[in-house]
């Protein structure tokens, strides 16, 4: 079987890596891929949102399954185009992708189907939005409606921060058209968790639990990022809480998808805030989390290709999912300046140390090859992912691996998974 993975980040490297472990997969292509992916798969120079070129490649190369990594091609309608041409693809269609493509649509969907979430209001007027913040007080959460690469959510602790966030989104258009509308919501206090499910619209299969670290600095300080690290399993999601999430969030969500006539065949990521033991939805994503996919896929013991193919074909109930007992921790190494303007082209040293390490995998997120050397090419550069008998051991293994890696200006958090270790 031949597979095409669309994307170029750490998540896509993890997807390619896991797919290649299936005895049924003969070859994996990745469009456009990165330096790390090119070592194990064939990278194709096609942009993730060039739907026509992607479809042509699939037709002419007899690809059996296409797996969409990032959200942009999903919201651009890549799945709709593939289905029209009867090509097998994993991911939701354009209608389903609106759960992530529009935060306003997602919140309205939650309200309509009784899914617990924070109180909110939407605005297209800067003055009215500012007035609402004055009325509600701080802390408060301000979100750009559209896609903003994980950076369109600002938790404002003061009125000045809220006003600056509104100005940046609505007036300066820092996120372009994504900021035409803003969503302002109550700031929920609690602990976050990432809860992902696979679904073919009929069957739901929950994946292993995980927890992300959004802020750039230790102690959850500084601006939001695409994610600075993750671990699995997440102790905050107890057996009881998982039942609650399935009953109060996933069940009404699936009912809503059916009523809206959305034939959803892919993964749904539920960003959960646990407040006083109860789950509330912060956001929906329509693809695997990044970096959550890295530790989750490191723990997956089932054939990943079979899982994705069965989902795309509406046969998910036929496949059983099993997990390794070990825990996994992923620590993201970023470029100097990220999540703001960052440096590129820095030579990365030490990557050869992990070629034969069964407990450590270094997933490339933003890398390229220049004059035969692997160099930095993105804000998030690497995701060092390690297994261990428990979360503490996995964390120690990940940080020991990081000590062998170097590039100028590299930055990473030192406290990934500390919350989980304290709980144990």
CATH number for the domain including 61? 3.40.50.20
- Please tell me whether residues 65 and 134 are part of one structural domain: no
Q: Please indicate, yes or no, if residue 109 is contained in any of the structural domains.
A: no
Residue 354 — pLDDT band, cuts 50, 70, 90? confident
359-392 confidence digits (pLDDT tens) = 999 999 999 999 999 999 999 999 999 999 999 9
Is residue 213 domain-shared with residue 263, that is, in the same domain? Answer: yes
Count the domains in the chain: 4
Rounded mean pLDDT, 52-64: 97
* Nearest-angstrom CA–CA distance, 364 and 383: 6
Please give the average per-residue pLDDT across 246-250, as a whole number: 98
Q: Report the first-to-last Cα separation within the chain, whole angstroms.
A: 43
Looking at the fold, whether 21 and 66 belong to one and the same domain comes out as yes
How far is 315 from 305, CA to CA, in rounded Å? Answer: 13
Range of the domain at 160: 125-180
pLDDT per position as a tens digit, 69-124: 999 999 999 999 999 999 999 999 999 999 999 999 999 999 999 999 999 999 99
Co-location of 301 and 405 in the same domain = no
Cα–Cα distance, 318 to 121 (Å, whole number): 42
Q: What is the pLDDT of residue 65?
A: 98
Selection from 111, 342, 109 nearest residue 223 by Cα: 342
Task: Report whether pLDDT(424) > 70.
Answer: no
Q: Tell whether 117 is covered by a domain.
A: no
Asked if residue 133 is part of any domain, the answer here is yes
User: Does the residue 314 lie in any domain?
Assistant: yes
Residue 209 has pLDDT above 80, yes or no: yes
Q: Is residue 207 part of a domain?
A: yes
Q: Tell me what the pLDDT averaged over the chain comes to.
A: 95
Q: Are residues 334 and 314 in the same domain?
A: no
Is residue 165 located within the same domain as residue 263? Answer: no
The pLDDT of residue 34 is above 80: yes
pTM: 0.95
Considering the domain architecture, whether residues 314 and 205 belong to the same structural domain is answered as yes
**CA-to-CA separations, 285 to 57, 78, 265, 269, in angstroms, rounded:** 27, 16, 13, 5
Which CATH number characterizes residue 365's domain? 3.90.600.10
Interval 280-306: pLDDT, tens:
999 999 999 999 999 999 999 999 999
CATH number of the domain within which 271 lies: 3.30.470.20
Section 7-24 average pLDDT: 98
The pLDDT of residue 7 is above 90:
yes
Q: What is the pLDDT of residue 409?
A: 97
């Amino acid at each position: 079987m031949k597979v095409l993975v669309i994307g170029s980040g750490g998540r896509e490297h993890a997807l390619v890596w896991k797919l290649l472990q299936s005895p049924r997969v003969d070859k994996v292509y990745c469009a456009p891929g990165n330096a790390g992916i090119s070592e194990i798969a064939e990278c194709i120079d096609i942009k993730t949102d060039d739907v026509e070129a992607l479809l042509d490649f699939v037709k002419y190369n007899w690809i059996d399954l296409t797996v969409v990594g990032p959200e942009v091609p999903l919201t651009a309608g890549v799945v709709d185009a593939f289905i029209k041409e009867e090509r097998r693809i994993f991911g939701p269609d354009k209608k389903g992708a609106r759960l992530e493509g529009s935060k306003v649509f997602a919140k309205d969907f939650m309200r309509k189907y009784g899914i617990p979430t924070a109180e909110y209001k939407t605005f297209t007027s800067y003055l009215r939005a500012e007035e609402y913040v004055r009325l509600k007080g701080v802390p408060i959460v301000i979100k750009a409606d559209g896609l903003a690469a994980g950076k369109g959510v600002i938790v404002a602790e003061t009125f000045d921060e809220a006003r600056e966030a509104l100005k940046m989104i609505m007036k300066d258009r820092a996120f372009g058209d994504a900021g035409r509308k803003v969503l302002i919501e109550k700031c929920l206090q609690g602990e976050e968790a990432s809860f992902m499910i696979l679904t073919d619209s009929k069957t739901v299969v929950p994946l292993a639990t995980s927890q992300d670290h959004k802020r750039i600095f230790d102690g959850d300080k500084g601006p939001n990022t695409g994610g600075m690290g993750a671990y699995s399993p997440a102790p905050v999601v107890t057996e009881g809480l998982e039942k609650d999430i399935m009953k109060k969030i996933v069940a009404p969500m699936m009912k809503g998808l059916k009523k809206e006539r959305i034939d959803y065949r892919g993964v749904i990521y539920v960003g959960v805030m646990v407040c006083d033991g109860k789950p509330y939805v912060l956001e929906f994503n329509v693809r695997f989390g990044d970096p959550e996919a890295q530790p989750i896929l490191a723990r997956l013991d089932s054939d990943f290709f079979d899982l994705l193919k069965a989902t795309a074909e509406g046969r998910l109930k036929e496949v059983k999912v099993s997990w390794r007992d070990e825990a996994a921790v992923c620590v993201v190494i970023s470029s100097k300046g990220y999540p703001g303007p960052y440096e590129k082209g820095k030579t990365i040293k030490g990557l050869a140390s992990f070629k034969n390490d069964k407990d450590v995998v270094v997933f490339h997120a933003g890398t390229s090859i220049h004059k035969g050397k692997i160099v930095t090419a993105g804000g998030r550069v690497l995701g060092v992912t390690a297994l261990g008998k428990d979360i503490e051991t996995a964390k120690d293994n990940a940080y020991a691996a990081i000590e062998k890696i170097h590039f100028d200006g590299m930055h990473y958090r030192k406290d990934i998974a500390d919350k989980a270790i304290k709980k144990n």
